[in-house]
């Protein structure tokens, strides 16, 4: 076996790139490798996965690395515009080149297995496209394989007899020609990507049947780009400090405004104000879309309050109005399951029979890395009874802390009962915290990806070096924090991903505060108290974080 790497990063999407950038800057002379299953940079935004019309939900200025502004001269995107996927791909590839990542990357290498060695180093098994297996040895690992790498493709009765094209939205790029040939298309799913695919077909002239299962979480919350209070862009509301106070979160006090938060969540008047705040947001969206004015549109009205939803909220980023296509009948909505496929027909449980040229499943992703771990357990490593007791304690703590979470919405399908990822700060597996040899980047769902990727990247480097200013003192403390944070997620976002992976909406900036406080970096980045609480946080507010850290921690 060849010599040992200091660090291997698995995955070259947003999170892998940002983590590699920070680590390389702090350890320019170490032996570092980034391995990637695909053949280009960007993950979700890699060349292989671009499809017609795909754009970021984020607007220009909120989906860029703080240390690498997406200049309008180079990338041609103006402020107020959504970023085309091919531009994001180019931008992320340029980022990789600029920060020395490209020269350390190997593409077309799928990691299949990670084995923990007795000396706490790792054997990483990878398979090339030509099926060549290779085992590399590394002291440390950053796993950044993303939450959207393994498609979740349903199986249907009779699918072997089905003649039209049938695939997952992940392959929409590779199968893009279908847009020119299909006259009728069926799309399964209720999330933003099902809307994206339906929109692409409908605007290419196809008649679309959008099939939403009656037992799921219902249609995605989709917002007009501008929402009250203040008629601000939705993404800006989520990262305006004052508004983050309205969302209960255990690490809220990290922002230094614990008094305001206590008033809002722990007093009767406070809770009344909080309820109103959320109702106002929901009503504004309902009215803006006119769900109640048209029977077809009504089918797309979300089933639960936005309060319970988390990052799954979508934004209208289409050149024309999606809902007009529904009103005109170009997109027909069915709240039904697929009973059977046969020839070129889709039989629905409502009795309807749809004739189609294509069936695309925008049915989400399997959570988890898909990696096989040997001699390493990413879970709690407790007996079932011990785990149960830890869960009960944490649940009680969450309910006592935030009474608003006691009135849970009624779900049509119960949340998965599988253990969620139990990572410290949603990054480090509980059992290995004191070994400092592995971290997971990006095992979170948020709309503030760029800011998260940057903060997690630096935090991970500092953590692996044993240089965090604030860490738990012992394993017991690690478990206590992990349990509170992960159980909170389950209570907070039952209609989002909370039960399986951490989900973030208004709690995003407070999470970044938490990581910065661990690093000993001041989380308030604005120049005055007023801008601090009123002006939305953007990537540019975190410019130079790694340099700042280097200066204060050079030895």
Ligand X SMILES: *[C@@H]1O[C@H](CO)[C@@H](O)[C@H](O)[C@H]1NC(C)=O
Q: Which residues bind ligand X (CB under 6 A)?
A: 39, 107-108, 129
By the rule CB under 6 A, 489 interacts with ligand FAD:
no
Sign of the four-CA dihedral 449, 192, 286, 306 = negative
By the rule CB under 6 A, 12 interacts with ligand FAD:
yes
Rounded to a whole number of angstroms, the distance between the first and last alpha carbons of the chain is 34
Q: Which of ligand FAD, ligand X, none binds 38 (CB below 5-8 Å, type-dependent)?
A: ligand FAD
| Subset of residues 433 to 462 that bind ligand FAD, contact rule: CB under 6 A | 442, 447, 449
Cβ proximity to ligand FAD: between 111 and 247 the closer is 111
Indicate the angle between helix axes 14-26 and 545-553, nearest 10 degrees: 30
Cβ proximity to ligand FAD: between 288 and 371 the closer is 371
Contact residue for ligand FAD among 5, 7, 8, 13 (CB under 6 A): 13
Token pair, residue 137, equals 């040895």
Distance CA 181, CA 543 (A): 46
Contact residue for ligand FAD among 25, 56, 219, 234 (CB under 6 A): 56
Contact residue for ligand FAD among 58, 240, 244, 378 (CB under 6 A): 58
Distance CA 276, CA 299 (A): 25
Contact 476, 415 (CB under 8 A): no
Cβ proximity to ligand X: between 129 and 180 the closer is 129
Least Å from the CB of residue 49 to ligand FAD: 8
Least Å from the CB of residue 475 to ligand FAD: 28
Which residues are within 8 A (CB) of 215 and not within 5 positions of it... i.e. 6 or more apart?
337, 412, 413
By the rule CB under 6 A, 14 interacts with ligand FAD:
yes
Cβ proximity to ligand FAD: between 144 and 188 the closer is 144
For tokens 């044993």, the residue is 466
| Subset of residues 194 to 233 that bind ligand FAD, contact rule: CB under 6 A | none
Least Å from the CB of residue 347 to ligand FAD: 29
Cβ proximity to ligand FAD: between 36 and 254 the closer is 36
By the rule CB under 6 A, 46 interacts with ligand FAD:
yes
Least Å from the CB of residue 311 to ligand FAD: 8
What stretches of 305-365 adopt beta strand conformation (E)? 314-315, 331-335, 338-342, 345-348, 353-355, 358-361
Say which DSSP state 230 is in.
T
- One-letter-per-residue 3-state SS of 95-131: HHHHCCCHHHEECCEEEEEEEECCCCCEEEEEEECCC
Stretch that binds ligand FAD, among 12-20, 266-274, 280-288, 325-333 (CB under 6 A): 12-20
Q: Which of ligand X, ligand FAD, none binds 129 (CB below 5-8 Å, type-dependent)?
A: ligand X
Cβ proximity to ligand FAD: between 113 and 262 the closer is 113
**Within 13 Å, how many C-alpha atoms sit on residue 314's CB side?**
18
Cβ proximity to ligand FAD: between 230 and 373 the closer is 373
Cβ proximity to ligand X: between 51 and 497 the closer is 51
Strand order in the sheet with 331-335: 165-168, 358-361, 184-188, 207-212, 331-335
Nearest to 187 by CA among 224, 147, 219: 219
Tell me whether strands 32-35 and 5-10 are parallel, antiparallel or unpaired. parallel
Least Å from the CB of residue 505 to ligand X: 37
CA distances from 438 to 358, 474, 491, 500, 550 (A): 43, 18, 28, 20, 22
Contact residue for ligand FAD among 9, 10, 24, 70 (CB under 6 A): 10
Cβ proximity to ligand FAD: between 141 and 462 the closer is 141
Chain contacts with ligand FAD (rule: CB under 6 A)? 10-16, 35-38, 43-44, 46, 56-58, 63, 110-111, 144-146, 148-149, 193, 370-371, 442, 447, 449
């Amino acid at each position: 076996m060849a010599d040992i790497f200091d660090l291997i990063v698995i995955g070259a999407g947003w999170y892998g790139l940002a983590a590699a950038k920070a680590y390389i800057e702090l350890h320019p002379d170490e032996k570092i490798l980034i391995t990637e299953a695909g053949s280009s940079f960007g993950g979700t935004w890699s060349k292989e996965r671009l499809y017609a019309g795909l754009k970021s939900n984020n607007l220009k200025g909120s989906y860029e690395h703080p240390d690498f502004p997406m200049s309008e001269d180079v990338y041609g995107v103006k402020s107020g515009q959504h970023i085309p996927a091919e531009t994001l791909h180019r931008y992320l590839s340029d980022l990789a080149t600029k920060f020395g990542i490209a020269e350390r990357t190997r593409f077309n290498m799928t990691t299949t297995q990670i084995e923990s060695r007795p000396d706490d180093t790792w054997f990483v098994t990878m398979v090339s496209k030509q099926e060549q297996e290779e085992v590399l040895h590394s002291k440390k690992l950053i796993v950044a394989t993303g939450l959207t790498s393994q498609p979740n493709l349903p199986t249907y009765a009779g699918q072997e007899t089905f003649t039209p094209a049938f695939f997952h939205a992940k392959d929409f790029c590779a199968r893009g020609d279908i847009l020119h040939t299909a006259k009728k298309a069926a799309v399964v799913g209720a999330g933003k990507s099902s809307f994206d695919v339906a929109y692409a077909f409908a605007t290419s002239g196809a008649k679309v049947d959008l099939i939403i299962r009656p037992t799921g979480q219902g249609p995605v919350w989709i917002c007009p780009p501008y929402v009250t209070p203040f008629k601000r862009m939705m993404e800006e509301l989520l990262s305006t400090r004052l508004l983050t106070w309205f969302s209960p979160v255990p690490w809220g006090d990290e922002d230094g405004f614990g008094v305001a938060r206590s008033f809002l969540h722990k007093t009767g008047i406070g809770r009344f104000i909080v309820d109103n705040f959320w109702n106002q947001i929901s009503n504004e969206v309902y009215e803006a879309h006119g769900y109640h004015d048209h029977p077809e549109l009504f089918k797309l009205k979300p089933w639960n309050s936005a309060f319970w939803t988390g990052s799954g909220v979508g934004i209208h980023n289409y050149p024309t109005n999606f809902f007009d296509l529904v009103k005109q009948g170009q997109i027909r909505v069915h709240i039904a399951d697929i009973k059977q496929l046969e020839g070129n027909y889709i039989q629905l449980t409502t009795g309807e029979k749809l004739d189609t040229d294509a069936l695309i499943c925008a049915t989400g992703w399997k959570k988890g890395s898909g990696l096989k771990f040997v001699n390493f357990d990413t879970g709690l490593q407790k007996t079932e009874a011990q785990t149960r007791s830890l869960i009960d304690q944490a649940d009680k703590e969450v309910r006592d802390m935030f009474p608003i979470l006691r009135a849970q919405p009624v779900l049509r399908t119960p949340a998965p009962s599988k253990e969620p990822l139990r990572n410290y700060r949603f990054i480090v597996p509980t059992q290995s915290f004191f070994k400092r040899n592995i971290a997971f980047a990006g095992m979170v769902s948020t709309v503030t990806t760029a800011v998260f990727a940057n903060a997690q990247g630096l935090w991970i480097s500092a953590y692996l070096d044993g240089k965090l200013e604030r860490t738990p003192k012992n394993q017991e403390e690690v478990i206590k924090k992990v349990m509170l944070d992960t159980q909170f997620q389950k209570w907070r976002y039952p209609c989002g991903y909370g039960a399986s992976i951490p989900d973030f909406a208004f709690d995003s900036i407070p999470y970044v505060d938490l990581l910065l406080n661990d690093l000993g970096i001041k989380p308030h980045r604005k120049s005055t108290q007023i801008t601090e609480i009123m002006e939305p946080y953007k990537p540019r507010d975190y410019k130079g974080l790694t340099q700042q850290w280097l200066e204060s921690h050079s030895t």
